[in-house]
Structure 1
């Protein structure tokens, strides 16, 4: 007990007195705790809790990089390769092999992009790298920046830190692939530059030949200039002759058109043919008549000769009569001779008429042919406008040849300057080899990974809400059990059914936990204004988890007393670390990764992410059932094996010291 004091020393005590008074008070508390062994063990446990907290948290964060192989990453290589500058490239295959050899993550090769995306959504893969089929064909030439796209697919709702690692991986991957491609391009450039000395020698020889060719070109250009002047002179003469030809052609055309106008018509030619035919027929009839006259004159001459002989022999005829008969006989003979001559002339006339008819027919046929030819000539003879165009064209030809002559003179002058310039560069320029194709931006940054996020969250704070709410619910349930003396029941409740005892004892803290859940929901929907994918699933999950955690903590307290409350706090730290609240649980070590699938807060975090962001393909029901079953199991154990102390009602006052 405390020693009595001589006077009130609360205002005037010295330092030794203060120390002596404090030691006396502490001796009483220490003596009380060390009288019973379980209090000693409780003090040891209390002393151990901070160190245990430190070990749990620090061991999970000690060296995350050393556990990166625990993250499972999918690789889908669809790259079909490329033949570039006679070299085969398959950047996707090289990249996949390089990543697997580096073994930074636990890479899993997959066949299709759809399968990889599905497993990322389900949480079986941390993220996935998808190499498209045209990756090499877009990345190697470097035609434009970011042409070769690598797809990094992650689910931000599944784990914000894993999504951040995926983004960092994408950035590093793009830098490494661009560096590798640049190295391969430069190797091609240096390979071409290795033969630059031989190229310089070839260039020297080529320049000498080019110089010689330029000399020959200069000579040829001078000759071409002389020839162009000759062509210019000839073109001028041609222009003059064409002008004269045009004038004469116009006159010829006018004459042909005049002849075509004055030519005999076909009707006139037909009348001429008909007249010659009639002349031939008349001459023929005249010949026939003359022949008949000739025949009659012969008969007449014969009769006259007979009559003359009779008259000469007759004495009845006088001499005058005989003389007249003689004259008549002579006249008939002359008539016969004349008719004979006329017959011959008629025959000649008939032959001449026939000849005339043949000539006239030939003449008319020729005239007809001449008419057709004349008509054709007049139709096809160029018009005056065409002849004028010919004359203007010849003038333009003269002008063109003049310009050509001037151009050849300039060509001759330029070829001479080319000859002089090639003589100056004949020492050669080194061959730089083949320059890389593509644009500068494309060659420098041809690969640009694209990060595709599934179940995206609004910001990082909201991304951690699925890990904060479980801790808040567990902490709220731990605080709620302090409201009542959880292990004590009134004496009159001793004969009550265990279910009634348990329900009656947890009604007040359960109501408080339910209020906590409603306030958390109000914070999520109203204060933070989170875009919740499935509000009803979120409500069921939070309410069921809060009550389930209360059942677990009450069971620990009922069986272990206040040590159960301390154990609940240690379990909170262990579950938060093992559920991936700070970072992906795979990076915390095999112990936490193995423990994670068996902890209620892990299930709750999964269910919250599914209902909040649509992560894990929105599959929240199984996690809700698991958490609820843990609460029901803890409640059943408490009801069946709980250790209650039955005390008077006056000893059931709240444990809160207010």
Structure 2
């Protein structure tokens, strides 16, 4: 009770002293100055972007696509006039440039003169995309330029949809033309099928008649055999002489024919084949050269892979070393935490009255929990160090495999070189073979000429023999010709019969194939005719995918999103400024004990923090219209955050005085940069990311996000527990100072009694 009486006397002294009371009241509204006023000014800036002037310059001259006029630039301008995303101003190029120089426009959008013509090149061999030129005025306003960049993406999507719509209409028109053509082709295939059926019937009749012709020629040939035998017996001698000369002439003629046609053709084919062989070998040689080049590139790639894996081995080794250092550091932290817990136990044992206090018992329990947590952290980091060692060994194995792969590719590259050499030798041999074929062809031509002369001589000899036996030779020749003609007629009729059978089979297949062709073409025409050009189909081609936003996790406006950050800043700055107006170590009661001063000062700063928290929370809820998932929990977490910041600031300034305020400012700067209040923590430098989990404002921002935006109260309570630990440790540090500092010196008490020192 004595400690509380000191507190009430300090409060009464402050209330009676306007010099203290007025600044205290002003300090209660400090968080509103830092959070409420700023957020009120920028509560919903994206809701007013229609006031941002943007210059639009249309230089598009238009184009034609499949006979249709295309003016994408004008269509885009008409589309912009319909929406109010920005304050569009449609000007010429000179006006836009001057406006950008005068900081009149936040962005300039230029539609070039070839915009429509480039958009019509989609079906060309080398299509060229249309360019929509935009120039953000970052020197005028960086944030405004970023907003413009975001908007230009939506604008690009709209223009692309318009261009795609024009292409879709053209392609669907082509589908109609294809459908008509397939229908006509189906009709033609049907007529072809009818004609093939008629040809099939005629081929069957032709086959039957040719079979009859072959049968008659066989009977005629059998009747000529007795006549031939009689003529041969009558002219035996003349026949022998004539036969010899005829054989000579016939042999010469056959030899001439073979030399002139078959041998010459074979030589030509040999030369042609050798030329093709040389060309094929040259192609194979080119392909092998390309293979060799590819293997060289692959060998270089495997070398780079080996080097990269060696770097990974070094990196994993460094990681294992760093984790081992972290294990050593966490061991020291665990030992230090255990030492603090043991020291508090000894302090409680030395002061039984102090040990009986419930706050001290909670402090002992909290210190023991910190010690246990530090030990668990040390064990976890040891496991991480073991895992890093295993990762290092795995990287070493990968590096070994990469080296083996590199050696194998070097051997494969050497084999490719040998293959190139062998193919070059084959190419040289093929060239020699081609030269030999040419020489053989020339020699055969000369040989054929000589055989022609010999054949002429044999013909003259046969003519003389024929003059010797004119009658018998003429009779023999006639009978031979008749017999040969009948035999040829028999063979030809048989061949015609076989051909007619094959013709009938082929025409039957033609009939079936033409029928199937007509069916397929008609089916294709029917399916293509089902593709109709309607507005819905064209729109589907232009925009086949729509996006919808799930608003369950959407933050309604800019101010709500930044409330956790600026509310934390306001409470922290309010705590800092409170130390400037209120005394940190003294009270208005002369001779008060260290414990009494601790209770009085802690209650004074705690009351100030609660007042600030309630005022700023009320302003956010009812002044700015902030919407939260739970108003009571929002008040509660604001009070917890304010008390935590106040206890941290009180401990630092109580121990260090003016240097303590400097330390508080440094802490504030670190929290502004590393607490992820504006940008995600992954976007800040890595060395700042390491500080982020240890900063109290990081946890206050996460807790405010939970209660304001997500409604995940488990996260809020977890962050509140972490902030309570910070507050508890800070209270213990403040208590240690007052217990260590003891009673105030006598001279200082006299100054307080004389009223020369103003306290609260």
Normalised by the length of structure 2, the TM-score is: 0.30
Larger relative helix fraction = 2
